[in-house]
């Protein structure tokens, strides 16, 4: 039997309405309950935060809170180089997911550290050294900036112990990298943007800061 077009449109609309009603509430012994209250707003701190998405803009800190760490980094326009390095290294697939802290250098920090040739070699051929570089910016466990500063030291996944010192509004890692927008939350992770590349690789930039990101 065939049905008029208006009939199946009405049936589809009714089904959609029922689906929305079902997903909007949960039941417990026949009593309907609304979904839990949305997560509280995520507060990030640091001088660079004003240049990043805020409020209800796509990529704002609250919207990123449930995203995997690599996806969250994709929304940070000042961390595209580190996001590409993390993705190319393949490290996330090798790590356990009990928690992770990411010290993500800004694009400007990478431009001040590496020239084009050095960076292209790391990204295309020298993946062992790239992985070592990325590990120098990862810490086991999801730690807030306050927690790291209170501990006074932290150890990155490459085995380096960094001092963590707070002076006024500044929190510094290893006596050279300052947190410039801290306490992003991601799924099982915290992300702190820093203004210097960590790790033992030598500086090869010429000081112009013109390396392509």
The 10s digit of each residue's pLDDT in 94-144 is 886 679 999 999 999 999 999 999 999 999 999 999 999 999 999 999 999
**46/63 Cα distance (integer angstroms):** 19
Q: Once rounded to an integer, what is the mean pLDDT over residues 62-87?
A: 96
CATH number of the domain enclosing 185: 2.30.180.10
**193/107 Cα distance (integer angstroms):** 10
**Residue 68 resides in a domain:** yes
Q: Do residues 107 and 195 touch, judged by C-beta distance below 8 A?
A: no
Count structural domains, the chain.
Answer: 2
SS3 (DSSP) at 164: strand
Query: Could you tell me the pTM of the whole model?
Result: 0.80
Do residues 18 and 115 both lie within one domain? no
Do residues 10 and 75 both lie within one domain? no
Do residues 101 and 30 both lie within one domain? no
**Residue 134 resides in a domain:** yes
Res. 26: pLDDT tops 80: no
What is the number of other CB atoms lying within 10 angstroms of the CB of residue 149? 18
Do residues 21 and 68 both lie within one domain? no
Shortest CA distance to 191 belongs to which of 9, 88, 47, 68?
68
Host domain of residue 25: 5-34
**Residue 30 resides in a domain:** yes
Do residues 123 and 184 both lie within one domain? yes
Do residues 78 and 166 both lie within one domain? yes
Structure tokens at 82: 């580190």
DSSP characters over 36-102: PPPPPPPP-BSTTGGGS--TTSTT-HHHHTTS-HHHHHHT-TT-HHHHHHHHHHTHHHHS--S-EEE
Do residues 90 and 133 both lie within one domain? yes
The 10s digit of each residue's pLDDT in 36-56 is 444 579 999 999 999 999 999
Q: Which residues on adjacent β-strands are paired with residue 192?
A: 103
Least confident of 51-55, 194-198, 207-211: 207-211
Q: Give Cβ neighbours of residue 127 (< 8 Å, ≥ 6 apart).
A: 88, 89, 90
């Amino acid at each position: 039997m065939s049905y008029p077009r208006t009939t199946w449109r009405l049936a589809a609309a009714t089904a959609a309405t029922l689906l929305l009603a079902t997903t909007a509430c949960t039941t417990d012994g026949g009593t309907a309950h609304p979904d839990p209250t949305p997560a509280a707003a995520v507060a990030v701190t640091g001088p660079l935060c004003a240049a990043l998405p805020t409020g209800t803009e796509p990529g704002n800190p609250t919207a990123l809170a449930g995203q995997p760490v690599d996806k969250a980094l994709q929304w940070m326009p000042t961390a595209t180089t580190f996001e590409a390095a993390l993705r190319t290294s393949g490290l996330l697939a090798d790590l356990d997911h009990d928690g992770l802290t990411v010290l993500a250098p800004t694009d400007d920090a990478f431009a001040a550290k590496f020239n084009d040739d050095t960076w292209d070699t790391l990204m295309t051929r020298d993946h062992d050294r790239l992985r070592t570089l990325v590990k120098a910016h990862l810490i086991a466990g999801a730690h807030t900036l306050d927690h790291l500063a209170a501990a006074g030291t932290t150890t990155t996944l490459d085995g380096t112990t960094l001092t963590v010192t707070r002076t006024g509004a500044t929190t510094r890692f290893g006596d050279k990298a300052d947190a410039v927008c801290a306490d992003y939350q991601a799924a099982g992770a915290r992300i702190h943007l820093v203004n210097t590349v960590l790790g033992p690789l030598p500086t090869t930039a010429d000081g112009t800061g013109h390396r392509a990101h």
